[in-house]
Amino acid sequence: MSQQQLTPLNQVLLAAGLVAASLPGWAQDANAPAAPAERKPVGVQEVIVTATKVATPASKTPLALTVVSGDDLKAAGVTEARNLEEVTPNLQMAQESGKLQIAIRGVTSLDMTEKGDPSAAFNVDGAYIARYEAQTGAFMDLERIEVLRGPQGTLYGRNATAGAINLITNKPGRTLGGRIEGEFGNYGARRVEGMINVPINDILSMRAVVQKSQRDATIDPGTNTGTPMDKRSDYAARVHLLADISKTSSLLLTAETTHQGGGAPTPVPMGNFFTGTYVDNLPFSPPNTGNNIKDPVWVDRGTSAQRTAGLNFKGATNPAYTDNDNHSLRAEYKTSLGFADLTYQLAYMKGLVDGSGNGIYFGFPIVLKGQGDSDSTSHEVRLNSVGNGPLKWVAGAYLFNERIHRESSFNTFITAPFGSFTVVLPFDIDVKNKSKAVFGQATYALLPETRLTLGLRETRDQKDGSDKLGGQAATPPATTSPGAYTKSVKFSNFSYRLGVEHDLAAGTMLYASLATGYKAGGFNDTSDGGNYKPEHLSALEAGVKTKLLNDRLRLSAGVFTYDYKDMQQTSVVCKTNDPSSCGSVTTNAASAKITGAEVEARWMVGDNGELRGSLALNDAKFKDYQPNTTTDWSNQVLDRAPRSVLTLGYSHRFNLESGADITASIGTRLNSGYKLSDPAAAIRYTQPSFHKSDASLAWTSPDQKTSVQLFVKNIENTTTIESRVPGSFFIGDPRTYGVRASYSF
């Protein structure tokens, strides 16, 4: 590690020393009052989760489950969904064109269009977030995040083949209080968040939070002067209103809004990372440019070159921008029926998309313009058992309706020296998704220490879509183009879960399960593109969760094997040399075998230290896959499936005589390489192995109300490719550092 790479960290640590040295109680004072008693941990704190739709301790939940508390999120600097991979085994997070791309154990979705569905269910307080762009909002005022790995077909239904991510927000309490936080960092980063909790009367209480964040571009525009890149300007707000109607009944109403603004998500040319022969270029593409690089070879050109945009855009008259809004209204009613508890959840979500983004496609600049709206409504009603009998169960019904409209176009806006021509690919798309399901899961104790679980779910899906243009402009007086289409597909699925768990000793549980999941099929967005089937996954898993050393060590470990069928593979296909023939095509092209193992541990070291670590091993390979007639990828690894990921972290709290404390933390993530592919061109790009490290130093006042944290993330300033679009890559964040401060009252 070079001295230059460590310079920002040295600056942060030096600043921390200067700040801390000026604080009362840092130096010993003979006249100082007696210090308050030290805060000594009694062990790793237990977390109650709702991963199985009922409240259970995380250590007693027989799932491959990672739980990150709100305090841990703040300490680790996890401020958005993409940061979750830093604290979760076998989870890879990326962004593509401003949309979240989730891969869990190598299972992911590459169709980021309005016709595509994610492979991992993303939920906020139990409400399913269907659109990728709506999943990228900043985290604020969260109680915890639960990451469930493996298919969750029984309780979470369709599109949970990879797993589920559950965000649980802090709810209103009965104490008047609040908090204000601020953050400043490099790249002009600044964020402010405010929260207030108000008990209105004996029945009603309210909790409200607002957040505003900004950041300058991290992509060097190069010759694209005046063209906004990935600059961000976001805000969000949420209001909870909780009515404790009686001792056994409550109603929670929630209104939430998020805005994503600023410049456009910006990819960088593939030539920043690889050398080779350019292919898939059109007759009018500039020299040494194209959609792909044949036999690509990684070249480390350095971070500055990797983070530089490519060809010149016509940015002065067509500036890139993002102007997306997502609004939601949610309601949750709970009551006791005596024999069972009833929960009803209603969620309505409205999304507005408006933006113009830059990209390098086919070797020349294209401006992607798009706007539209979407809305979805979901209903879920559940009954769960009560009491301490040997049988515990949950049963329910689910209904989901979604409507999406998009008007978009791909425009070349070519200028000298590449000639003067314009290609416009217009789309006017409407998509409707309907899903309904009934489900149930029961656990029966054969013995006090041995329990069996059976879960069942039947799901029925329908997807309808139409496009008046389909990439080809209609010629007046016609209102539809030759590329227009109207399609409708229906699917049904029966998922199950069989499980057994056994308390080997006090604090130690063994478990095993066989579970299935499915992701709905769909259609391709051209008149002759055809349909594709659902994908199915069966998972056999076994694990252990234990508490050791007087509960000072929490350890969970597991092994798994997947049988993955009818994988949905997506790529951009051009049928001719005319760009209007190009489009996103999804096929059921592959089956896969995935096996792996995971270990997570937290160990309280002494009175003031905590050691954290995880190891994820993953062998994810195609069983039988020929992306074209001349290429065989059988027995090759899946995309975004690194063979190993190791995380290590340590935190230590130093108690000061004033009663304040300083906590120093450092952690690193060692990631083996992974692939990003274009199946249509049968070309694979390899991101080499890398590691990224973080560090922080935090001061907390004696009354625990005030804290100041200095932080640095990605100390090595490593640039990684996260996702691929034709001719370009979206990349990870560079080194960031700054200071956070908060005050609670």
CA gap 600, 616 in Å, rounded: 9
- pLDDT over 50 at 710, yes or no: yes
Bridge partners (DSSP) listed for residue 242: 205, 252
**Segment 269-286, tens digit of pLDDT:** 899 999 999 887 766 666
CA gap 393, 216 in Å, rounded: 50
Q: How confident is the model at residue 558 (pLDDT cuts 50, 70, 90)?
A: very high
Q: How many CA atoms lie within 13 A of 734 on its CB side?
A: 20
**Segment 591-635, tens digit of pLDDT:** 999 999 999 999 999 999 999 999 999 999 999 888 888 889 999
Q: Is 497 helix (H, G, I), strand (E, B) or coil?
A: strand
pLDDT of residue 280: 79
* pTM attached to this predicted model: 0.88
Mean pLDDT of all residues belonging to the chain: 86
Alpha-carbon separation of residue 333 from 190, 257, 336, 337 (angstroms)? 37, 21, 10, 13
Alpha-carbon separation of residue 548 from 95, 256, 455, 474, 552 (angstroms)? 39, 41, 31, 69, 6
Cα R_g (the chain), whole angstroms: 26
- pLDDT over 90 at 511, yes or no: yes
User: Token pair for residue 461?
Assistant: 């899906």
Please state the φ and ψ torsions of residue 451, each to the nearest 5 degrees: -135, 145
pLDDT of residue 7: 44
**Segment 299-335, tens digit of pLDDT:** 999 999 999 886 555 544 566 788 899 999 999 999 9
Ordered structural domains, the chain, with CATH: 3-744 (2.40.170.20)
Check residue 138 and report its DSSP letter. Answer: B
